[in-house]
Structure 1
Amino acid sequence: MSALRSLLSIGAILLLGACTGVPEGVAPVGNFQIDRYLGKWYEIARLDHRFERGLSDVSAEYRLLPDGSIEVINRGYSAARGEWKEAVGRALPIGDQTVGSLKVSFFGPFYGGYHVAALDETGYRWSLVVGPSRDYLWILARERSLPPGVREQLVDTARRLGFATDELIWVTQDRPDA
């Protein structure tokens, strides 16, 4: 029985580790500076997921905590409920802190990968973020919209990386921050 328990424990560890991995063929950006990435980002586009379904005016705010972890506050407006929804999580760098790869948790000890696949390295005005698989993709910006040329560039990058860009949801950003 203990051999089976050990095997199951190893399997669970491998499965949880896979949740923070990077999709094959995707490389997180180098020369990443977390202090420049902190602050507010607006969601411009995303692939659909249950936890964001139906939300508009989505934003994420990243704040460095005294223990070195990063507080993540995701907010979005649910028109169906007529209210703001908010989730607070925690992020930690994965490995080398100069690589744009974090693990993020909103549910206790369970972490998911957050990998910056493209970034405006000059002004940190936009980023392309992917999760542990090609099911997760976000285009983020410091402003509520992006110039069409930048949008096209990020969609082209995501398409080249194998993401289903024809399924992107373009997020409306009409409500003032609450």
Structure 2
Amino acid sequence: MSAVYLVLLLLPLISAQTYHWGPCPSPAVQPNFQLEKYLGKWYEIEKLPTSFARGKCIEANYSLRKDGTIRVLNAQIEKDKLSTAEGTAVVRDMRERAKLGVSFSYFTPYSPYWVLTTDYTSLVVVYSCNDIFRLFHVDFAWILSRSRSLPEATVHYAKDLLTKEGIDISRMRPTDQSCTDLF
């Protein structure tokens, strides 16, 4: 019964998220992922709703730190102001380099950040999922590009990939990218 109360307490916190009953799906990730090619700036084209990125002109910049971790610098325009968040990404298992973990606080564990596919030059499809006691899970999915737009056929390809991997994209929405570089 206490799990039910916990779920009821968590629902307002995840109302901006996409959640489903049952455990997280386990989609296939990019084979032979090359982190060095992935580094640099990516623009958010579409995503499932999140509570932490509701602005426009959302971009992420990935760079390698001297200690081998990855600096993640996210930026967005929210209420006409630049908002940034810096985090850390790590490769959790060298045998599956496309399964990274990302954290934006010293006090929170690393969340999954799985690169499902990328060509490194124009498109990346990323998936993340948090399993809550195997009762339900919270989905995150992003379609990112090296430019502020993608051809519709490429977006369709990315959405088809997510759907084929069992990820519900019915709440996926485009990101307003009508601005210039934030950095």
Per the normalisation by structure 2, the TM-score is: 0.78
Unaligned runs of 5+ in 1: 1-21
Taking structure 1 as the reference length, what is the TM-score of the superposition?
0.80
- Corresponding residue SS for 1:155: helix
Aligned length: 152
How far apart, in 1, do the equivalents of 2:70 and 2:26 lie? Answer: 27
- Indicate the residue corresponding to 2:111 in structure 1: 112
| Corresponding residue SS for 2:37 | helix
Choose which of 121, 126, 132 in structure 1 pairs with 2:123. Answer: 126
Deviation of 1:87 (Å): 0.2
Give SS of 2:160's match.
helix
Q: Please list every run of 5 or more consecutive structure 2 residues that lacks an aligned counterpart in the other structure.
A: 1-22, 131-137
Superposed structure 1 runs of 4+ greater than 4 Å apart: none
RMSD: 1.7
- SS across alignment from 1:167: coil
Provide the C-alpha distance between the structure 1 equivalents of 2:24 and 2:93, rounded to a whole number of angstroms: 16
1:72 shift after superposition: 0.2
Aligned runs of 1:71-86 on 2, under 5 Å? 71-78=71-78, 81-86=79-84
Conserved in 1, the CA contact under 8 Å of 2:25 and 2:166? no
Q: Which protein is bigger by CA-based radius of gyration?
A: 1
1:37 — aligned with what?
Answer: 38
Distance in 1 of aligned mates of 2:95 and 2:26: 20
Distance 1:98 1:139 in 2: 21
**What is the percentage of aligned positions where both structures have the same residue?**
32
Instruction: Report the residue type matching 2:129 in the other structure.
Output: P
What amino acid maps onto 2:140 in structure 1?
Y
Q: Would you tell me which structure has more helix in proportion to its own residues?
A: 1
Shift of 1:97: 5.9
Q: Which amino acid aligns with 2:101?
A: K
